[in-house]
Amino acid sequence: MAEHANLRIKLPVVCIVLEVILIILFGALVEYDEHTSANKWTSPNHTDYENEFYYRYPSFQDVHVMIFVGFGFLMTFLQRYGFSSVGFNFLIAAFSLQWATLMQGFVHGLHHGKIQVGVLSMINADFCTGSVLISFGAVLGKTSPVQLLIMAVFEVTLFAINEHILLVFLHAKDAGGSMTIHTFGAYFGLMVTRVLYRENLEKSKSKNSSVYHSDIFAMIGTIFLWMFWPSFNSAITAHGDAQHRTVLNTYYSLASCTLATFAFSALVNHEGKLDMVHIQNAALAGGVAVGTAGEMMLTPFGSMIVGFLAGTISVLGYKYLSPILESKLKIQDTCGVHNLHGMPGVLGAIVGIVTAAVANEQTYGKGMARVFDHIDDVNFTASSQAGMQAASLGVTLGIALLGGLIVGFILKLPIYGAPPDSQCFEDAIYWEVPGENAESGELCAVKSEETDKLNG
Amino acid sequence: MAEHANLRIKLPVVCIVLEVILIILFGALVEYDEHTSANKWTSPNHTDYENEFYYRYPSFQDVHVMIFVGFGFLMTFLQRYGFSSVGFNFLIAAFSLQWATLMQGFVHGLHHGKIQVGVLSMINADFCTGSVLISFGAVLGKTSPVQLLIMAVFEVTLFAINEHILLVFLHAKDAGGSMTIHTFGAYFGLMVTRVLYRENLEKSKSKNSSVYHSDIFAMIGTIFLWMFWPSFNSAITAHGDAQHRTVLNTYYSLASCTLATFAFSALVNHEGKLDMVHIQNAALAGGVAVGTAGEMMLTPFGSMIVGFLAGTISVLGYKYLSPILESKLKIQDTCGVHNLHGMPGVLGAIVGIVTAAVANEQTYGKGMARVFDHIDDVNFTASSQAGMQAASLGVTLGIALLGGLIVGFILKLPIYGAPPDSQCFEDAIYWEVPGENAESGELCAVKSEETDKLNG
Amino acid sequence: MAEHANLRIKLPVVCIVLEVILIILFGALVEYDEHTSANKWTSPNHTDYENEFYYRYPSFQDVHVMIFVGFGFLMTFLQRYGFSSVGFNFLIAAFSLQWATLMQGFVHGLHHGKIQVGVLSMINADFCTGSVLISFGAVLGKTSPVQLLIMAVFEVTLFAINEHILLVFLHAKDAGGSMTIHTFGAYFGLMVTRVLYRENLEKSKSKNSSVYHSDIFAMIGTIFLWMFWPSFNSAITAHGDAQHRTVLNTYYSLASCTLATFAFSALVNHEGKLDMVHIQNAALAGGVAVGTAGEMMLTPFGSMIVGFLAGTISVLGYKYLSPILESKLKIQDTCGVHNLHGMPGVLGAIVGIVTAAVANEQTYGKGMARVFDHIDDVNFTASSQAGMQAASLGVTLGIALLGGLIVGFILKLPIYGAPPDSQCFEDAIYWEVPGENAESGELCAVKSEETDKLNG
């Protein structure tokens, strides 16, 4: 097997060096926030149920499940890449959440020279990790774990910068990350996979597909993502009605999206048969598309329309757009992240612009300033908010595409142990893969014995 | 393959028409409740931690997992029906929860012409969906997704009516739905499958069984149902002690039920071998059987007795009753929902009657009126409550059986693309199913080449 | 198949007798605590959100998932032992949590002759169950379910005694159970498997390994354990900052551990290939190793160092120590619990000693007495606490090893239907195992027909 893909030195060195750097920086910069420190929490004698933990931890755990089970298993659909899908997802997520804690803390500003951590920073770190995993979906099967870790180093950094520009400079709202997470992750990943274009990828064509059970494993990922998406979109909104409303909007958007997905999946197949790729992916687009407006007064009605549109464009994207992107633009997008995160993310940004533009005191009451933090500022109206949302989409696309371009070229260097064209989508290049089971083994043995006898 | 089962037009039309109707009705009728609206929540300045969200959302998410992962994977035990099991479960659940929001809101009464939604309506919609999925279990493998959606349209409606009669007219208690969800769903589904009886179902006999890995996939469903059943039974009880107590009762009932299941599964097998069908299903009967009395002062002791009985009758049902139901009554109950939801549901109703009958102030203290809302009414005693519980069981059985009969005949019309007898329990009729994996493929190729050579 | 392994009488008798004893004892001894009783909760008119349920139930559910899905699926890595792994895990956990409720309640002291139950007792019972499941991992594949139940009867009892000595007599802190759960469970199990040593276990060698899909099933267990470990370690700590901080420490420890695991897994393989056994297990050692100190002011920095060490020793243990334990000490440790729970548990105990020793008012403020309950007592200093922690590790090892020795000999009696050497790691001895799927079956049939023809 490809000698240069032997990671015996590369992977340990990269992992250990990165982790040591993380530990040193954590030692120098990170401290408990006032909700996690024994000292700070108890000094003014809070009531324990006011601790942020009880408002956020159930949501955090749902987000955590989406990151590790959701993304991890969603990508196990490939027949011979299950170990890598769930395993590399695990590795780069474990790295990214640590690195994101530092980058987000650093970019968003230190408190007396320190980064303070608690359940909110954990959710934000998981969110940033989600963005990296979206990009991972675009390059799945064609990259080494070393490449993925290097990608994560850069992507997390750019994510934190983009997020800071949007949320702080532009006053944008994007609690569920239609822009910061999905649009960013998708277009960054698409640009990386464009730069890493492999002309002879058809050499691994036979492995770039699913088998029966791998598709069922992937449904574990799909369903957990689908169920917990309401928690994802609401995890960092304001307390009370905002979290509650975001959950509701996301729930209805996803339900509506699912019906659209089944409808169009059957419609675009000449025998009317459903395609697992659509069900596994497009049914989730409804969650992406209310990532920005979910906390606003979008209404269940509005959410369902958005979800329906998202499911529709996602299925059509898988069927008609992805083949064109590959053949014309040389974008080999393994998981079709453009259809699940790219287009629905942009749709979500647009929905956010529109929903912000029509916001008014009559609908929101005193809640107006809780949803749009800057709306009480001088000269900052609902239209200003909408304008900022639009600017945010542009900034995100710009940073994602430019960042992906540069990082793509960095990852093109032939030093990371990337798999050869013939060994893409194949676990055996990076993993000890077990043989078939004993009984089948025996069966084969018997058979070949028989055949030998016959030949003899 | 069967031409009339081509769903290229039927499925999209049904999905899109239903979703458009839903969207229009949501636009006309649905609004945020006071816990989800930015305006309503902030006007009296609530404290955020009093928002219903924090009391219910973790329970809701557990229920949600049961509906989508629990029911979905439980049914993947069939060797060639995994895509349909988890996929159609996904589709009809996504539809039903939207339709249930409307039907339950409509039947239970509008507020100023509007249906108000929040976490409680989400839980109730998921509950109603659970009932549809139970019926799905009875007809699994023998119905098209179009048929299932039509079934859901009617079943959700009847569910809402029955639930309203029980909870409002009869003042029944049934927080975990032994009657409203399990008994209703099971007997409705059994009646439907009776009407849809297929004389020549043995043509698909070879597919109506499990393989090794499909049984393990099914255990994912079983275990998630089992773990989260305490949340299911407690999700809509009163706050505080009631939720807490219901969880505890369900936890012990299920644990006891599991031991009974293993015991009787080994006992009824002449080699003493355990049967996966029992473990996957009967071990859950303990949750069903405390669905009514779980919020009452049933005590862990009482719960364990109920759980033990439930597990026992469920295993015996699978072993001895199901074959009789099929041969004598022509009820082809694919998942054995009669054993998991039917009999244990009726048992749960009876346990509710008895537990209500013996309720008294000494045991409940001031909590009496929190558990039995009408107990302070004139002439409404514990015995009245017990009587109402008994009447509720009768009403539920009546509506379920009659409703199932009528809906069964509606579903018998030859217009829904139902599978032919020889293609039941087979994904390939409705799904693009991938081929076997590359390596096995090669193996086969090599083998047949050898055989050719030998033959030649 | 081995006649003496027919469990038709043995298993039902043991299950029913145990459950009947449990029911009787629950009837005599168990009552609702003040947070679950309708009477007790409502008499002083608490505010519902103060009910312990809302502080603990989400954590409990995460722990519950770890016990039933986490441990259950982690052990499905064996190719032909998936039914038993997840099924026997289910059985002995369902038994143990009931028995643990009694034993812990009894040992820790009755209230007016009664054991009071609520969400805290449920978490503690699940914790005790976790310890039994760790021991199960050591003997996996080589024991009958009857043996496992008998083991649980004794182990739960010894667990409760050891836990009581540590927490009450020695004033030890061990919220996440590095000592009480992991060290105890591991060394108890290792001693049992030592006593049950099978000289001719290589007769089942071909089954004592994984296949491709069984390794992916096992990753379901791994990932759920990994994600919810923060909830495990924090489930019974003090409210507020303590729960919050423990979550944070565990999160970082696990993330760091995961990078160490990937690094050393690649490093110890001569082709640099990753080993699924390491990823499935060693990546979790970081959770074990902060089980004692997680609630202390360990800091993220400290947690990451601990996690890194834990992952490292765990991988090295799997690679170099396990083969030696088997060949020299005759310890056949199927799941390598010594590497995942044994050594990391001891490491966790040591980290607890050190962290307690350096605790001071400056760091903890008023939180000092909340973390170390006895620190305000006369002459009880941080050093005293450290000493007590050290004594606790010694006591735990002593009770675990001695207890395991005795229980091992009890389990060696030839009356429990243990599998013969040639049938270890094989579901078919205790389960009805389905045949291969229809299509393969046909394939085989065709083949053997052809071969017959050729032979003829």
Query: Residue C2 has what pLDDT?
Result: 53
Interface of B with C in 383-442 (CB under 8 A): none
Please state the φ and ψ torsions of residue B36, each to the nearest 5 degrees: -115, -15
The DSSP string of B116-170 is: EESHHHHHHHHHHHHHHHHHHHHHTTSS-HHHHHHHHHHHHHHHHHHHHIIIIIS
Write out pLDDT tens, residues A282-316.
999 999 999 999 999 999 999 999 999 999 999 99
- CATH 3.40.50.1820 for domain A9-429, yes or no, is no
Helices (H), A169-240: 184-195, 212-234
Q: How many CB pairs under 8 A join A and B?
A: 236
Please state the φ and ψ torsions of residue A87, each to the nearest 5 degrees: -75, -50
Provide Rg for chain A, Cα atoms: 23
Q: Are B347 and B306 in contact (CB under 8 A)?
A: yes
Residue type at A31? E
Residue A254 to residue A306: CA distance in whole angstroms: 9
Query: Residue A436 has what pLDDT?
Result: 61
Query: Residue B408 has what pLDDT?
Result: 98
Which of A53, A83, A90 is opposite residue C215, by nearest beta carbon? A83
A132 to A125, A148, C235, C249, C441: CA distances (angstroms): 11, 9, 30, 23, 43
Distance separating the N- and C-terminal Cα atoms of chain B: 34
Dig out the tokens for B282 from the structure.
């009967």
Which of B62, B255, B371 is opposite residue C94, by nearest beta carbon? B255
Q: Are B137 and B337 in contact (CB under 8 A)?
A: yes
Please list every residue in chain B whose beta carbon sits closer than 8 Å to the beta carbon of residue A308: 19, 23
What mean pLDDT is predicted for residues A90-119? Answer: 96
C280 to B220, B290, C181, C427: CA distances (angstroms): 18, 37, 20, 22
Query: Residue B374 has what pLDDT?
Result: 87
Please list every residue in chain C whose beta carbon sits closer than 8 Å to the beta carbon of residue B451: 447, 450-451, 454
Query: Residue C5 has what pLDDT?
Result: 77
Query: Residue A258 has what pLDDT?
Result: 98
Residue A331 to residue A324: CA distance in whole angstroms: 9
Please list every residue in chain C whose beta carbon sits closer than 8 Å to the beta carbon of residue B62: 61
Please state the φ and ψ torsions of residue C196, each to the nearest 5 degrees: -85, 15
* Residues near B242 by beta carbon (within 8 Å), at least 6 away in sequence: B234, B295, B367, B370, B371, C38
| Inter-chain touch A94–C252, beta carbons under 8 Å | no
Dig out the tokens for B329 from the structure.
């009554």
Residue A359 to residue A407: CA distance in whole angstroms: 39
Compute the nearest-CA separation of A163 from chain C (Å): 23
Helices (H), C69-115: 71-74, 82-107
Confidence band (pLDDT; 50, 70, 90) for C451?
Answer: very low
Q: What was the ipTM of the complex prediction?
A: 0.94
Burial class (CB in 10 A: 0-12, 13-18, 19+), A311: buried
pLDDT exceeds 90 at position C345 = yes
pLDDT exceeds 90 at position C17 = yes
Residue B297 to residue B57: CA distance in whole angstroms: 24
Query: Residue C438 has what pLDDT?
Result: 44
Query: How large a percentage of chain A has pLDDT more than 90?
Result: 89
Query: Residue B49 has what pLDDT?
Result: 87
What mean pLDDT is predicted for residues B292-309? Answer: 98
Residue C417 to residue B37: CA distance in whole angstroms: 62
Residue B131 to residue B176: CA distance in whole angstroms: 12
Q: Name which residue leads in pLDDT, B435 or A116.
A: A116
Residue C50 to residue A155: CA distance in whole angstroms: 43
CATH fold, domain C11-43+56-428, is: Ammonium transporter fold (1.10.3430)
Confidence band (pLDDT; 50, 70, 90) for C435?
Answer: confident
Would an 8 Å CB–CB cutoff place A363 in contact with chain B?
yes
Residue C365: count of CB within 10 angstroms of its CB:
16
Which of A216, A258, A364 is opposite residue B39, by nearest beta carbon? A364
Please tell me which residue of chain A has the smallest CA distance to B68: A223
Rounded (to 5) percent helix, strand, coil in chain B: 75, 0, 25
Write out pLDDT tens, residues A218-267.
999 999 999 999 999 999 999 999 999 999 999 999 999 999 999 999 99
What mean pLDDT is predicted for residues A339-344? Answer: 98
The two beta strands, C115-117 and C30-32, are: parallel
Would an 8 Å CB–CB cutoff place B18 in contact with chain A?
yes
Beta bridge partners of C115: C30
Q: Are B295 and B389 in contact (CB under 8 A)?
A: no
Please list every residue in chain B whose beta carbon sits closer than 8 Å to the beta carbon of residue A49: 49
Over chain C, what is the mean pLDDT? 93
pLDDT exceeds 90 at position C295 = yes
Beta bridge partners of B117: B32
Query: Residue B438 has what pLDDT?
Result: 44
Would an 8 Å CB–CB cutoff place A299 in contact with chain B?
yes
Task: Judge if pTM exceeds 0.80.
Answer: yes
C194 to B248, C150, C441: CA distances (angstroms): 38, 17, 41
Least confident of A219-223, A376-380, B211-215, C324-328: A376-380
Write out pLDDT tens, residues A113-142.
999 999 999 999 999 999 999 999 999 999
Q: Are A208 and A141 in contact (CB under 8 A)?
A: yes
What mean pLDDT is predicted for residues C21-32? Answer: 98
Write out pLDDT tens, residues C187-202.
999 999 999 999 999 9
| Inter-chain touch B61–A371, beta carbons under 8 Å | no
Query: Residue A272 has what pLDDT?
Result: 96
Please tell me which residue of chain C has the smallest CA distance to B228: C61
The two beta strands, C30-32 and A30-32, are: unpaired
Please tell me the class of the B31-39+60-416 domain: mainly alpha
Residue B165: count of CB within 10 angstroms of its CB:
18
Confidence band (pLDDT; 50, 70, 90) for C441?
Answer: very low
Write out pLDDT tens, residues B168-198.
999 999 999 999 999 999 999 999 999 999 9
Residue type at A190? L
Please state the φ and ψ torsions of residue B415, each to the nearest 5 degrees: -120, 0
Residue C351 to residue C294: CA distance in whole angstroms: 9
pLDDT exceeds 60 at position B442 = no
**Would you list the domain boundaries of chain C?**
11-43+56-428
pLDDT exceeds 60 at position A93 = yes
Residue type at C185? G
Confidence band (pLDDT; 50, 70, 90) for C454?
Answer: very low
Residue C164 to residue C171: CA distance in whole angstroms: 10
Confidence band (pLDDT; 50, 70, 90) for A448?
Answer: very low
Dig out the tokens for C184 from the structure.
């105890």
Compute the nearest-CA separation of C112 from chain B (Å): 17
Least confident of A3-7, A173-177, A196-200, A209-213: A3-7
pLDDT exceeds 80 at position B98 = yes
C15 to C3, C69, C94, C420, C427: CA distances (angstroms): 20, 22, 11, 22, 20
Find, among B270, A240, A289, A318, the residue nearest to C7 by Cα. Answer: B270
Find, among B340, A270, A125, B361, the residue nearest to C42 by Cα. Answer: B361
Residue A235 to residue A227: CA distance in whole angstroms: 14
Burial class (CB in 10 A: 0-12, 13-18, 19+), C387: middle
Q: Which residue has the tokens 């002309």?
A: A199
| Inter-chain touch C23–B219, beta carbons under 8 Å | no
Compute the nearest-CA separation of B14 from chain A (Å): 8
Helices C343-357, C382-412: inter-axial angle, 10-degree rounding: 160
What mean pLDDT is predicted for residues C343-360? Answer: 97
Helices (H), A30-167: 38-42, 52-65, 71-74, 82-107, 119-139, 145-164
What mean pLDDT is predicted for residues C310-316? Answer: 98
Beta bridge partners of B111: B114
Q: Are B191 and B405 in contact (CB under 8 A)?
A: yes
Compute the nearest-CA separation of B206 from chain C (Å): 6
Residue C257 to residue C291: CA distance in whole angstroms: 14
What mean pLDDT is predicted for residues B356-366? Answer: 93
Q: Are A58 and A231 in contact (CB under 8 A)?
A: yes
| Inter-chain touch C23–B264, beta carbons under 8 Å | no
The DSSP string of C249-296 is: HHHHHHHHHHHHHHHHHHHTSTT--B-HHHHHHGGGHHHHHTTTGGGS
Query: How large a percentage of chain A has pLDDT more than 70?
Result: 95
Dig out the tokens for C72 from the structure.
């259950």
| Inter-chain touch B366–C447, beta carbons under 8 Å | no
Beta bridge partners of B161: none
Interface of B with A in 52-81 (CB under 8 A): 52-54, 57-58, 61, 64-65, 68-69, 72-73, 76
Query: How large a percentage of chain C has pLDDT more than 90?
Result: 89
Please state the φ and ψ torsions of residue C149, each to the nearest 5 degrees: -65, -40
- Specify the DSSP class assigned to residue A295: T
User: Length of chain C, please?
Assistant: 456
Burial class (CB in 10 A: 0-12, 13-18, 19+), C434: middle
Which of B8, B40, B65 is opposite residue A267, by nearest beta carbon? B8
